[in-house]
A = this chain, B = another copy of it.
Amino acid sequence: MADTKFIYYFGDGKAEGDASMKEMLGGKGANLAEMTNLGIPVPPGFTIATDVCDAFYKNNRQYPAGMKDELAATLGKLETMMGKKLGDPNDPLLVSVRSGAAVSMPGMMDTILNLGMNDKAVEGLASITGNPRFAWDAYRRFIQMFSNVALGMDMNVFEDILEEMKKDKGVEVDNELSADDLKELVHLYKIAFKGNQNKDFPQDPMEQLQASIDAVFGSWNNPKAEKYRNINGIKNLKGTAVNVQSMVFGNFGDDSGTGVCFSRDPSTGENVFYGEYLMNAQGEDVVAGIRTPEKLSKLASENEEMYGQLVAFKERLETHYRDMQDMEFTIQQGTLYILQTRGGKRTGASAVKIAVDMTREGLISKEEAMFRVDADQLDQLFHPMIDPASKKNLNTLAKGLNASPGAASGKIVFSADEAELWVEKGELKVLLVRKETSPDDIGGMNVAQGILTSTGGMTSHAAVVARGMGRPCVAGCKDVVISGKTMKVKGKIFNEGDWITIDGTTGEVFEGQVETIAPEMSIELIDYLAWADDIRLADERVGLAQKGFLVRTNADLPEDAKLARELGAEGIGLCRTEHMFFEGGKLEHFQQMIVADTLEGRKKALEKILDLQTADFKGIFKAMSGLPVTVRLLDPPLHEFVPQTAGDISAIAKMAGISAKELEEKIESLHEHNPMLGHRGCRLGITYPEIYDMQVEAIITAAVECDSEGDEVLPEIMIPLIGTWQELKILRDNAEAVIAKVFEKTGKKVDYKIGTMIEIPRAALTADEVAEHADFFSFGTNDLTQMTFGFSRDDAGSFLPAYISQGILEKDPTASLDQTGVGKLVAMAANLGRSVKPDLKLGICGEHGGDPSSIDFCYRTNLNYVSCSPFRVPIARHAAAQAVLNNKK
């Protein structure tokens, strides 16, 4: 370990690290080094590598040997370069201490500014700068941050003292306090510190530095950091790095300031320089959203030179990084410093626009563009928005900043904990309302439909995190006054549990629940998805009969099919027929069928459904003319269709000519202990062949009629829940007999396929046998997952959260395919099936068909298509293109 380098210096245009060393220096440290090398004015400093964090935890929170010597030496180098010394009573060096892991975790790791400050240094600083106000302000901020971050003291202790003083002095904002006020404040802070910590505030800068480094490393494993990594699936990092950097000050006076800027608009993606700043303030003031900052355009007019430099730097950085940059800057007495740059978080719309624009500008290739937007961002673009029709009639309750786009309705809750609690209890639609959010609120923000804050700007915590999560957010809505579990807006009181709606795209807030609709697609989005289509449709996989990696949809109704087609679906992968039974008077007849004791009676009841069902299928076939439509025959157990209420029971009993008691007994006899593992799917087809016969007749009759009417129909009949080839053979034979009759009766023929869902483990294990009787397989990974894991989605709620939090499962396997276990079955079935039938068509129709990592798996497993819900189709098109590219590498 003695030869290992722990600390990397940067400063004066030269750095020991660079942007490629993110894993070791963290994103922040690597970029500080890179910027230094680029000649961007970065305050000098050094980065303690993530290796140290790793060693720290592996070695029972002890630092590796040699680290402290290297720290002293590097600090010495910094002091030499800066011409100042830490704690120097005349001209003290002040530094910041920040965390920075390889993956950005905004707000999660803690920061300490102005380190090096003490009773002597403050005087030196006051004297050398001639600005005692500044010096004392820096000191009081340091006490506050150090006590809170390094020692875990409650921030409110200091906030309360500050608030009281402001009230005493009759001022509104901090920077109205005078130097003497601040000196008094420091005095009071130190008293509070001693009261809390039982010792004086540490005066030794090395002690301060060490405690701060300890705190940064310690914060790597604090609960909120762990929670963030959990929610965002961040794994396998060594830890955080620590960046120690000489301070520059935006609060040096009115010729100083600080800001945050983006090289393009992170909300819209437009190629305009975008940002916010505050004069005479430290960075924390902007990010925390305590004071509402100014737009960057104001700087252009107020300080042309600074603005020009800033524009030049942002252009150099964007071109260098070939991506939209999120930068922090500070102006200290007219000198501009860049404190940080990183890839900017962006909304879905902006991600698409930036990717498309940058491709057109020649900055990146189309293939690279495919990885500049992620699925969650894309998803935002298909999130419901408020229906413009209903919006005309709405009165806006209040307006805030349009911090994260999309519309959301929900019941108000006033804390993140409540949000989580309500959702756990099954109250899924909650809307989190806060004065401002903090990293502690991540969990609640994640479960909420949307977030509304009363303070804070576009770069406030709430805004940044909500954009990252794709949650609609209206921030800084000043008309909202929160007090306990009520909120007052323009005199009107709202209580916990009341409905409100926010539109994060416009910043509007509305009372109650408001109708939402699907949004329109931007030209860039249409182009972007067309590029994705080009990539996935041109793909040829070795040994695969068909070209391309297709996307179908799961749709049961003509209107859903139409929507999905507009969103790019290339057919229907799953049309469930059971929903049809609940519509258009079919349920009564189907209930009659269930009640009937004889085959005759059942057939009579089914005959009444036949025409209605035929009409259903015609609607679907017409909506999908020219594209394949996979229709699944009836799947749920019969007891899902029986009448529930006493009134319905007596009505149905009357129709059936039996007593209500007899019907109740019949219903009781249909009860199952484990309905998921019961009498359903093809088991119904075996025991009541007349049901499937009716459905097949309806499908083929509809297909023949559509064909006659000029539609191109490609019906695929899918038999669910097959566990043995024998079931499929019997049901296929039955279906073909019915089809032959329809062809004979109508004198017409259409092409058709008969296949099965692979959703029972046994079917996957014996897929070679099953494939002999199937034209296609569609993996029903919902049931396959539940049976392979041996848990039902309905019941897993009692233990699945513990499974995720204890790391037993990385992700909920019902949401993202378990590639190790369930995936092994899928791959086995695909290979066994193709071993006997090389051109067997393979698809997936479980909900995993819309999940990007599952889609990548499906590509690798040589599936021909994925099928997902209509709104996931664009995400699947994109993920399919990514899969093609990923696996070309």
A407 — which chain B residues lie within 8 A by C-beta? none
A825 — which chain B residues lie within 8 A by C-beta? 761, 765
A284 to chain B, nearest CB (A): 40
The listed residue (B730, B769, B820) touching A806 by CB distance below 8 A is: B730
Known contacts A673-B792, A766-B821, A808-B730: does B723 contact A687 (CB below 8 Å)? no
Instruction: Give the number of times this chain occurs in the complex, counting copies.
Output: 2
Encode contact with B along A711-731: 1 for CB under 8 Å, 0 otherwise: 000000000010110110010
A674 at the interface (CB under 8 A from B): yes
A803 to chain B, nearest CB (A): 7
Extra pairs beyond A678-B792, A678-B796 (13, CB < 8 Å): A672-B795, A673-B792, A673-B794, A673-B795, A674-B792, A679-B798, A687-B798, A726-B809, A761-B790, A762-B788, A765-B788, A765-B824, A766-B824
List 6 tightest A-B contacts by C-beta distance, closest first: A677-B792, A762-B821, A678-B795, A674-B792, A760-B790, A673-B794
A683 at the interface (CB under 8 A from B): yes
Bound Cα distance from A517 to B790, whole angstroms: 39
A534 to chain B, nearest CB (A): 37
A582 at the interface (CB under 8 A from B): no
A820 — which chain B residues lie within 8 A by C-beta? 765-766, 769
A724 — which chain B residues lie within 8 A by C-beta? 808-809, 821
Q: From A803, which residue of chain B is reached at the shortest CB distance?
A: B686
A585 at the interface (CB under 8 A from B): no
Which residues of A line the B interface, CB within 8 A?
672-679, 683, 686-687, 721, 723-724, 726-727, 730, 759-762, 765-766, 769, 783, 786-792, 794-796, 798-799, 802-803, 806-809, 818, 820-822, 824-825
Bound Cα distance from A822 to B760, whole angstroms: 11
A834 to chain B, nearest CB (A): 18
A787 — which chain B residues lie within 8 A by C-beta? 677, 761, 787-788, 790
Bound Cα distance from A675 to B674, whole angstroms: 7
Bound Cα distance from A759 to B807, whole angstroms: 22
- Listed by A's residue number, 22 A-B pairs whose Cβ atoms lie within 8 Å are A673-B676, A673-B795, A674-B675, A674-B794, A677-B677, A677-B786, A677-B790, A678-B795, A679-B796, A686-B802, A686-B806, A726-B806, A730-B808, A759-B790, A761-B787, A761-B789, A761-B790, A761-B821, A762-B821, A762-B822, A765-B788, A769-B820
A426 to chain B, nearest CB (A): 12
Interface centre among A726, A761, A788, A790 (most CB of B within 10 A): A790
Bound Cα distance from A737 to B433, whole angstroms: 45
Bound Cα distance from A675 to B673, whole angstroms: 8
A822 — which chain B residues lie within 8 A by C-beta? 762
Q: From A823, which residue of chain B is reached at the shortest CB distance?
A: B765
Q: From A728, which residue of chain B is reached at the shortest CB distance?
A: B808
A759 — which chain B residues lie within 8 A by C-beta? 790
A791 — which chain B residues lie within 8 A by C-beta? 677-678, 683, 723
Bound Cα distance from A786 to B723, whole angstroms: 11
A452 to chain B, nearest CB (A): 32
Bound Cα distance from A794 to B674, whole angstroms: 8
A806 — which chain B residues lie within 8 A by C-beta? 686, 726, 730
A155 to chain B, nearest CB (A): 31
A796 — which chain B residues lie within 8 A by C-beta? 678-679
A807 — which chain B residues lie within 8 A by C-beta? 726
Contact A790 B762 (CB under 8 A): yes
Bound Cα distance from A818 to B723, whole angstroms: 12
Q: From A762, which residue of chain B is reached at the shortest CB distance?
A: B821
A678 — which chain B residues lie within 8 A by C-beta? 791-792, 795-796, 798
Contact B760 A789 (CB under 8 A): yes
Known contacts A673-B676, A677-B674: does B765 contact A821 (CB below 8 Å)? yes
Contact A818 B762 (CB under 8 A): yes
A799 — which chain B residues lie within 8 A by C-beta? 679, 683, 686-687
A661 to chain B, nearest CB (A): 18
A679 — which chain B residues lie within 8 A by C-beta? 795-796, 798-799
Bound Cα distance from A687 to B686, whole angstroms: 40
Bound Cα distance from A683 to B809, whole angstroms: 13
A425 to chain B, nearest CB (A): 11
A21 to chain B, nearest CB (A): 33
A770 to chain B, nearest CB (A): 10
Bound Cα distance from A646 to B783, whole angstroms: 37
Contact B821 A674 (CB under 8 A): no
Bound Cα distance from A798 to B670, whole angstroms: 9
